[in-house]
Amino acid sequence: MAYSLPAAVSRSVFSADTFRGVDYTNEAGNVEVDKSPYAPNMIRDVPGKVRKCMGWYIYEDFEGPINGRHKLITDRFSLIHAGTRLYKYQPAQGDAPAQKTLLYEDMADARSHSFQLGGRLVIQDGKRLLLWDGETLTPADQTPYVPTLTIGRAPSGGGEGYEALNLLGPRYTETFLSDGEAKAYQLSLAPLDEEGEVEVFFKDDTGAWQKKTGGFSVDREKALVTFDTAPGKPPVTGEDNVKITAPHTVEGYADRVNKCAVGILYGVNGVPDRLFVSGNPDGTLLNYDWWSGQNDPTYWPDTGYGTVGSAQSALVGYCLVGNCLAAFKDSRDPERSVVLRTGELAEDQAAFPVYNTLQGPGAIAPDSIAYLGSEPLFLTGIGVYALTTSDVTGERYQQNRSYYIDAVLKERPGLEEAVAFTYNDMYWLCLGNEAFILDGLQSLAEEGQPYSTRQYACFNRLNLPARVLWEEGGALHFGTPGGKLCAFYTNKRSTLSFSDGRDIRDPDSAGQAIFAAWETPDLTGKRFFKNKNFRYLAIQQQAGVYTGVRMYAMRKGLWALLRSEEYSARYLYFPELVFSKFTFSSDTTNKTLHTKTRLRRMDKIRFRFENDRCNEPFGLMSWAVEYTENGNYKG
């Protein structure tokens, strides 16, 4: 008698060997297999692979929150803005201790920015513009440029306009062509200040200006200078021979520039030879910006200003798009959320007319504007957006770039205080005590994404109290709200690189462990309503001097530990030998770790791979699980 054996149940496989960051927007069952609904402190290693984020350490303390770090290109030290004070800071070198020298203690307790212009560093804090030349710090309005308003002026008035009044300083100059008879010389702006010297100069026979110390009187109310003896005719016919400098303060002029909180370098044809500033909190100046003289941060012509978009909508920040200057408006002006201007010469004067306007969500955080590759990114109330150029029409428009984290990002409080920095081809958006990271090396051109032709892979770094960020010596540095200067480790092969908050000045400081995990989406098989029996789970993990992994499975909402492995992926490396973690293995290649699961009659499953040990790296190369599918799920 012949017997027929039942057919063996075929085995199926879920697997992934490419990792494209987190997806916090979709529900776990709809997340694609190359993304994770939960992956704290995991980051791109190489495109398509992930590892635990490297940690950071503390190397200095200041009083007050770190509001800015500034550096002139020729300096070998930094200027640190902490609280309301500005310090010259030289970090420790060899046996030489760190040096902190107080330079100024009347700054705003707010983030500051700096720009190098005309060989000096211009520091902007929203309270008073400061200038640093490498040795001396001075307020810009303390030694402002004195403009010459008119030339060829007759004693009674008139003349040819030459320069505009300086917003930062009250003093102005006018040059006169004397007639040899008039004693009274009328200045343009009245009244003159009650305080402040009125200076008079005559041109001698050699063409040099000589200061006159007496022999004249001043009517400050009428801005009239009267000489005891009429100045003679000019030594050279038609050449001005009398020069008068006087003070005339216009209330609020200096504050228009001093109280601005955002800025950028820009000029004619995109040349960065003028400083543009905006962000004045005065409700009547929300959409105004001003620009400095060419390569001169002490001269701010009162005619050098523009109005950008609606007066009810504030100008939030700037970026460059090619040779154009892009000004970001807040959400109260959606029809002109970005205004593009060009720089050109009009009648030998610099002019910055509007070139185009873009519609879309308004910028929300001035310090969130940063470039990822050639794309300017900025934070809005509904996610991170980019200014892009259409490949077909050449028209500029806005696109969303943070779809995979938007669901959680837009719910975070205090979005206006977010700060961004681009490092290692990644856009780090720091907010509160965490960072949302967009990876410029992993551009995902996927269909069905709203308001976008592509997205960036996203990651989430926790325990990162960054208030300001900068790059120095190839490392990412940041300052904290608590006054600490910190830097990220850069050697991903060293076990010492994987802890947070170690104070390198204290040999007993150990730092905090970094919890890192990669969670799979909900795996439902070919037919979601069928029973699944999961029999075998494997991962490929990067080898490390000290590393390990715990594998979990979620069943009916509860996590169960499947395997805890501490030794199999380790290898021996004598320079970092710790006997409690000793291994004889010298194999530095990736390790395959596996376990039998015996998870039966399930409609779906989710796995998690994690490492939370101090000073242990953790790199994930791939994962796979075998399962069979038969019978209908009955719950």
Write the pLDDT tens digit of every residue in 280-308: 999 999 999 999 999 999 999 999 999 99
- Would you say the C-alpha torsion 61, 67, 69, 72 has a positive or negative sign? negative
| Contacts (Cβ under 8 Å, ≥6 apart) of 290 | 167, 256, 257, 260, 276, 277, 278, 300, 304, 305
Q: Give the residue-averaged pLDDT of 557-585.
A: 69
Binned at pLDDT 50, 70 and 90, residue 574 comes out as very low
The per-residue pLDDT for 344 is 93
- Other beta carbons within 10 angstroms of residue 474's beta carbon come to 8
3-class SS shares of the chain: helix, strand, coil, % to 5: 5, 45, 50
8 Å CB contact between 574 and 626:
no
Check residue 133 and report its DSSP letter: -
3-class state of residue 148 by DSSP: strand
- Would you say the C-alpha torsion 434, 376, 384, 341 has a positive or negative sign? positive
Which among 41, 193, 140, 46 has a CA at the least distance from the CA of 516?
A: 41
Residue 438's identity, in one-letter code, is: L
Residue-wise pLDDT tens digits, 118-141 = 999 999 999 999 999 999 999 999
Residue-wise pLDDT tens digits, 26-82 = 999 899 999 999 999 999 999 999 999 999 999 999 999 999 999 999 999 999 999
Find the helix or strand (DSSP H, E) in which 595 lies: strand 591-602
Check residue 573 and report its DSSP letter: -
8 Å CB contact between 576 and 606:
no
Q: Give the residue-averaged pLDDT of 617-635.
A: 88
Distance of CA 234 to the CA centre of its chain: 56
The phi, psi pair for 535, rounded to 5°, reads -110, -30
Residue-wise pLDDT tens digits, 139-179 = 999 999 999 999 999 999 999 999 999 999 999 999 999 99
CA-atom Rg of the chain in angstroms: 33
* CA distances, 395 to each of 66, 372, 387, 389, 408 (Å): 40, 20, 11, 6, 31
Strands 130-132 and 120-124: antiparallel
Which among 170, 178, 177, 179 has a CA at the least distance from the CA of 223?
A: 170
The two tokens of residue 212 are 């006159």
The per-residue pLDDT for 630 is 83
Higher-pLDDT residue of 356 and 6 is 356
The two tokens of residue 611 are 């490492």
Range of weakest confidence among 145-149, 171-175, 323-327, 563-567? 563-567
Residue 354: Cβ-neighbour burial (10 angstroms; 0-12, 13-18, 19+): middle
Residue 382's identity, in one-letter code, is: I
The per-residue pLDDT for 394 is 54
* CA distances, 164 to each of 11, 172, 174, 301, 361 (Å): 82, 9, 11, 5, 37
pLDDT exceeds cutoff 80 at 449: no
Binned at pLDDT 50, 70 and 90, residue 527 comes out as confident
8 Å CB contact between 429 and 437:
yes
d(CA 303, CA 104): 31
d(CA 445, CA 454): 4
d(CA 437, CA 476): 14
8 Å CB contact between 510 and 613:
no
Binned at pLDDT 50, 70 and 90, residue 3 comes out as low
d(CA 122, CA 125): 10
Percent of the chain with pLDDT over 90: 75
Which among 426, 118, 387, 129 has a CA at the least distance from the CA of 262?
A: 129
Residue-wise pLDDT tens digits, 175-229 = 999 999 999 999 999 999 999 999 999 999 888 999 999 999 999 999 999 999 9
The per-residue pLDDT for 581 is 60
User: pTM for this structure?
Assistant: 0.92
The per-residue pLDDT for 579 is 47
8 Å CB contact between 622 and 523:
no
Percent of the chain with pLDDT over 70: 93
- Would you say the C-alpha torsion 152, 154, 158, 163 has a positive or negative sign? positive
Residue-wise pLDDT tens digits, 76-93 = 999 999 999 999 999 988
d(CA 606, CA 524): 9
Q: Which residues of 178-312 form beta strands (DSSP E)? A: 184-186, 199-203, 209-212, 216-219, 224-227, 242-247, 262-266, 274-278, 288-291, 305-307
Which residue is associated with the tokens 């109330």? 381
pLDDT exceeds cutoff 90 at 359: no
